[in-house]
Amino acid sequence: MELKKLTSILAALALAAGLTAALLSFTLDRSLHTRATLSQVFIFVALALFIALATLRGRARRAEPVGTARGAVGRNEAQRCTFSDVAANEQALESLRQLRDYLKDPGKYVRYGARMPRGVLLYGPPGTGKTLLARALAGEAGVPFFALSGSDFVEKFVGVGASRVRELFKKARKAGKCVIFIDEIDAMGKRRDDNSSDERDQTLNALLSEMSGFYTGDGVIVIAATNRIEMLDPALLRPGRFDRQIEVGLPEKRQRLSILKKHSENKPLDGDVDLEELAAQTVSFSGASLENLLNEAALAAAVRGTGSIGREDLRAAFYRTVAGVDRAITATARERRIIAVHEAGHALVSRLLAPENRLARVSILPAGHGAAGYNLCVPAERVMVEKRHLENQICVLLAGRAAEQLAFGDDALTAGASSDLARAAELATAMVTELGMDGEPAVSLKALGRGCGGVTGAAERCKALLGTQYEHVKALISTEADALKALADALMEAESLEGAAAEAILDAHLSNNRPKSA
């Protein structure tokens, strides 16, 4: 397992060529503070309720005989929903518009010899509208919508999940053109490792072969959703499978405003209600929590019976939605500042040491499970990985923590860097024990250790390697403190920045003698 993990990291690095699309690398950062976690717990409680309800409904369906596809939603329900129901998410909509044209007239694409993506993967935190987008696609194209959850396919008995997959596709084919939606695809499509079961493998294989089995002219689109793209089996992301991947992130201020506007269209708001202000306050709310917030306020107003929804209703609903009795709001200003500095640190050091990697997005909004902030970076294509590339990568990983330490001091270190530190240590371990890149240049301690009873001193050498790189990173960041501050300020303001915009801010503030490497 250990070996596989390391090999897969190295393989991912070495075989970057041709895999760029699938190789989006995340620097995800854990939430920094119990307060932040607490508010997530409340959102989580709401989610847990939804899940419990969904499970109950699932139980009801479970009465069907083993081995049949369940949960198909007919044409009528899907038709109620269109692209105009989706606010924000412009990027995802752009992609889906093309798919709608295809579903309306697949023949046109066949005539031009174009291959449409068989599968589209929507990834991002829960409640950001992934299901809504899939339903809207079916609704727009006027085709049936089949919705299932990945966990519906995970069964105790080998072969049952697989036959369920085949059953689903059979049903879908019979329907002619359609949209198949698989929520939580990670439940069935987890990266295969030593722990994976025969059952899950068979289920995943069945899905892969069904997806290869239909033709461009069929007009079947499979949309899958996940909030943990990094957990997916790479086989799922290959061409001909889910080869189009669309990020559906948490909405930023401007997008929150348009979601709030959309969901208040049918609600009588008081004249003094300021949606702009509400949008500014609801940092890290998903579309679903915004919708929930407005609904709570509407419920309260209905109970009071004054005829419209007032500021006070919204204020109370805000606290109920975000933090229940605790009255804590989402990340405090100080916490947001820490996250901003941390993410700016990653982006700065990446710009300095690995400018060939393309920064796609920097954000201080959570990207998924307990993460606070992220850097999304597309690594440059490269056939061979050199020692300096690995060192640079370690530096970029350590940069979040280093920036925090320099800006806020030793006592303010946060737990936000834990996964960065773990990944840096994994890389260092590979360099020391497998690649002969530290100490004796041509020795694989790992291979030796298997024959010669363990490896001694490797941990010390990894620590030394990490220590050297950490000092290097701190020196870089101190020299470029202006650039760090400029980017952190911009992140505080905008919450998310496109990579190009972030790089422009950095470049405008870097000292002239900045190092460059390729």
CB 344 within 8 A of CB 487: yes
**Angle of CA points 330, 414, 458, to nearest 5°:** 145
Query: Residues 27, 39, 131, 433: which binds ligand ADP (CB under 6 A)?
Result: 131
Binding mask 21-60 for Zn ion (x = CB under 5 A): ------x-x-------------------------------
Examine residue 284 and tell whether it contacts ligand ADP (CB under 6 A): no
- Please identify the residue of the shown chain whose CB is closest to the bound Zn ion: 400
Among 106, 249, 287, 499, binds ligand ADP (CB under 6 A): 287
- CB environment 453-477: b (16+ within 10 A), e (fewer): eebeebeebbeebbeebbebbbebb
Question: Does 163 help bind ligand ADP (rule: CB under 6 A)?
Answer: no
The residues carrying an active-site annotation are: 343
Distances (CA, A) of 142 to 3, 74, 199, 291: 49, 11, 35, 26
CA distance 491 to 487: 6
Partner from Zn ion, ligand ADP, none contacting 371, C-beta within 5 to 8 A by type: none
Least distance to Zn ion from the beta carbon of 345, Å? Answer: 8
Quick check: 88 binds ligand ADP (CB under 6 A)? yes
**DSSP secondary structure string for all residues of 436-462:** --SSSTT--HHHHHHHHT---SHHHHH
Decide: is 89 part of the binding site for ligand ADP (CB under 6 A).
Answer: yes
Site for ligand ADP in 237-276 (CB under 6 A): 259, 262
Question: Does 404 help bind Zn ion (rule: CB under 5 A)?
Answer: no
**Token pair 């606010």 is at which residue?**
87
Tokens of 489: 């300020």
Q: Which does 89 bind (CB under 5 to 8 A by kind): ligand ADP, Zn ion, none?
A: ligand ADP
Stretch that binds ligand ADP, among 68-76, 84-92, 306-314, 430-438 (CB under 6 A): 84-92
Nearer to Zn ion, 14 or 378 (CB): 378
One-letter amino acid at 227 equals: N
Strands (DSSP E) found in 172-248: 178-183, 220-226, 244-247
C-alpha torsion angle, residues 425, 429, 431, 434 (rounded to 10): -160
Report the partner that residue 29 touches, choosing among Zn ion, ligand ADP, none (CB closer than 5 to 8 A by kind). Zn ion
Beta bridge partners of 120: 223, 244
Q: Are 480 and 352 in contact (CB under 8 A)?
A: yes
Least spacing, CB of residue 26 vs Zn ion, in Å? 10
Farthest-apart Cα atoms in the chain, separation: 81
CA distances from 337 to 1, 30, 327, 373 (A): 38, 15, 21, 11
Q: Which of 423, 368, 365, 430 is nearest to 399 (CA)?
A: 423
400 binds ligand ADP per the rule CB under 6 A: no
Smallest separation, CB 419 to Zn ion (Å): 7
Q: Is residue 420 a contact point for Zn ion (CB under 5 A)?
A: yes
Considering the complex, state which of residue 138 and residue 349 has its C-beta at the smaller distance from Zn ion.
349
Residue 74 to residues 83, 84, 299, 344: CA-CA distances in angstroms? Answer: 18, 20, 30, 47
- Contact between 132 and ligand ADP (CB under 6 A)? yes
Q: Which of residues 264 and 419 has its CB atom nearest to Zn ion in the complex?
A: 419
In terms of CB distance, is 188 or 432 closer to ligand ADP?
188
Confirm or reject binding of residue 130 to ligand ADP (CB under 6 A).
yes
Amino acid at 298: A
Residue 87 binds: one of Zn ion, ligand ADP, none (C-beta under 5 to 8 A by kind): ligand ADP
The residue range among 174-182, 388-396, 417-425, 501-509 that interacts with Zn ion, by the rule CB under 5 A, is 417-425
Q: How far apart are CA 137 and CA 78, in angstroms?
A: 9
* Contact residues for Zn ion, defined by CB under 5 A: 27, 29, 400, 420
* Contact residues for ligand ADP, defined by CB under 6 A: 86-89, 126-132, 225, 259, 262, 287-288, 291
